[in-house]
Amino acid sequence: MSVGIAPTDLATLRKEFHADLCRNVLGVRGGGSGPPVYSNADSYQKTSVDFAARLASRLPPAAAPMMKGSEVGSAFERTVLRFVSGALELHPAFAIKRMEVGPGRVISDFAQFAHLAELEAVVKAHPELEATLGGHYLVKPDLVVSWPPFLDAELPAALDPGGPLARLSPSRADSPGGVLPILHASISCKWSIRSDRVQNTRTEALNLVRNRKGRTPHIVLVTMEPDPKRLSAIAIGTGDIDCVYHAALEELREGAAEAAEASPARSGAHRRLEMMVDSSRLRDIADLPLDLLI
């Protein structure tokens, strides 16, 4: 399993995650006499700046240097990876499956999608087929949670290991599909959300749904976006993303409620945020470990 936070419980894990986040990812833009602009906010959008500041006030001090978009994205991925790695230590079900989390790999490395490597090779060899079959099959998620198939020696006698039954399941190492690990979850990490770029996440998610052979993995997104309107660009709707997880949802909800009380102009954004929570489209990062048990 990847090296991550060594938690004693979920509350401790979440607290350490926020310390890690504020130390290595969350920064403050300098200059100017106005309110602080945190690195997850859009400096040209008042609600974004306001909600990000109220959210940050409920977390440890932001100490990360300002980084370019690709750098902050990579730093956020590493922080989420450490959180998920620690979360996989919290329940014996994860240990039984020897579940692990790691940086993204092309989906053809996993049992449900192994056939896509062959399909991609055929399309490359015969470009005229792309108009009929499409292309770009080999999605590479930001983070992947997976588990290896079981050896017969690891299976109970009741499941007939070594016998004539159950010879085809990819969860059994001694089967035609048992060479590759099972993709349990695809985790997309978006430090902030821009409606044009976030649609790539939907496209990748639909690729996972449509092109699998076997069980669909969990398909989730983790973000630190403070603006409810931008969160709704990916959280609203069903059929592609299972759920969006916010890195500090409870703190954002408190900040949004505070903002709505201070200014009626913020009440619509607050209501939108609560609507996404109430409709099970937006959850806290602490909910992710429990959802991975499903």
Read off the pTM: 0.92
Distance CA 256, CA 279 (A): 18
Q: List all residues 6 or more positions away from 129 whose beta carbon is below 8 Å from its beta carbon.
A: 122, 123
**Boundaries of every domain in the chain:** 80-291
- Residues 87-144 have pLDDT tens digits of 999 999 999 999 999 999 999 999 999 988 888 777 777 776 665 555 566 889 999 9
Candidate CATH numbers 3.40.50.10010, 1.10.1660.10, 3.40.50.1970, 3.40.120.10; the one for domain 80-291:
3.40.50.10010
Give the residue, 270 or 122, on which the prediction is more confident. Answer: 270
- Angstrom distance (rounded) from CA 255 to CA 273: 11
Percent of the chain with pLDDT over 70: 92
In the prediction, which pLDDT does 1 show? 40
Residue 23's contacts (CB-CB under 8 Å, 6 or more residues apart) are 60, 63, 64
pLDDT tens for 26-49 read 999 865 667 789 999 999 999 999
Residue 5 in this model has a pLDDT that exceeds 60 = no
